[in-house]
Amino acid sequence: MIKIKKIFVLILITFFTFYSNIVFSQQDPNVNFSTQTIVAEKLKVGFDIDDTLLFSSPNFERAFNSSVEPYSKEFWIMVNKNDRKYSKIKPTVKKIVDRHLKNGDEVYVITAREPYGGEYLKNYISKTFNVPKKNVYFVPNNKTEKIKILELNIYYGDSDSDMRAAIDAGAVPIRILRSKESSYKKSYNVGSFGEEIIENSEW
């Protein structure tokens, strides 16, 4: 029990040091981080996709307004194939991914989307965020088990279900804020889990 608590504290210290660097650097993109400002401990971190890495509402709305049946195989192929065209990268979150990679952390992506047409999405995420394709997972149901299997220390997401999955898996939950323009309004009660919140992360 003591060992677990020490590991948890180390993770929190690492995150707060890491997050402080991000916050202070947003005003000055030329800030040069020395290795002394980042805790050396390497982490395993995960990110959600929709409303976390990407503002994907335009992509989903296009699929909903098409002739395909919502949530069918054809629907998911259309969505997963077209993020490059219609979704927008959230720059604040991309900076977080970049800092984790610079620190040598292992970065994973776990989405609740169905995997149909998933190779398109994997290619896009890998190229855009420099995450290996093998580290991108489709988990349409509860993400808890995958977070456990990957032994993630931190999981970033926008929804309440992301926060719950992280907590149940023993990972630190970090809330990414949704854009007010997001078409998805459910499962969003910021701070209800006592989670850390990334300010100004709507975009």
pLDDT digits (tens, 9 = 90+) for 149-199: 999 999 999 999 999 999 999 999 999 999 999 999 999 999 999 999 999
The overall average pLDDT reported for the chain is: 86
Number of H helices and number of E strands within the chain? 8, 8
| pLDDT tens track for 113-132 | 999 999 999 999 999 999 99
Which residue shows structure tokens 């504290």? 9
pTM of the model: 0.82
| pLDDT tens track for 74-85 | 999 999 999 999
CA dihedral 129, 176, 111, 15 (to 10 degrees): 70
Q: Domain residues of the chain, as ranges?
A: 2-198
User: Which tokens belong to 10?
Assistant: 């180390």
Which pLDDT belongs to residue 17? 43
Which pLDDT belongs to residue 98? 98
Looking at the DSSP assignment, which residues form a beta bridge with residue 110? 137
Q: How far is residue 97's CA from residue 52's CA, in Å, rounded to a whole number?
A: 11
Which residue shows structure tokens 């709507």? 202
State yes or no: is 48 an active-site residue.
yes
State yes or no: is 168 an active-site residue.
no
Task: Return all residues near 150 (Cβ < 8 A) that are at least 6 apart.
Answer: 44, 46, 108
On the question of pLDDT at 60 being above 90, the answer is yes
On the question of pLDDT at 109 being above 50, the answer is yes
pLDDT band at 105 (very low <50, low <70, confident <90, very high): very high
Which pLDDT belongs to residue 138? 98
CATH architecture of 2-198: 3-Layer(aba) Sandwich (3.40)
Which pLDDT belongs to residue 111? 98
| pLDDT tens track for 91-104 | 999 999 999 999 99
- Residue from 28, 48, 98, 158 carrying the catalytic annotation: 48
Which pLDDT belongs to residue 41? 78
CA-nearest of 178, 190, 187, 186 to 56 is 178
- Residue from 50, 158, 160, 162 carrying the catalytic annotation: 50
Which pLDDT belongs to residue 31? 33
| pLDDT tens track for 7-44 | 443 444 444 444 444 433 443 343 332 323 334 479 99
CA-nearest of 126, 155, 127, 123 to 139 is 155
- With 0-12 CB in 10 A as exposed, 13-18 as middle and 19+ as buried, what is 143? buried
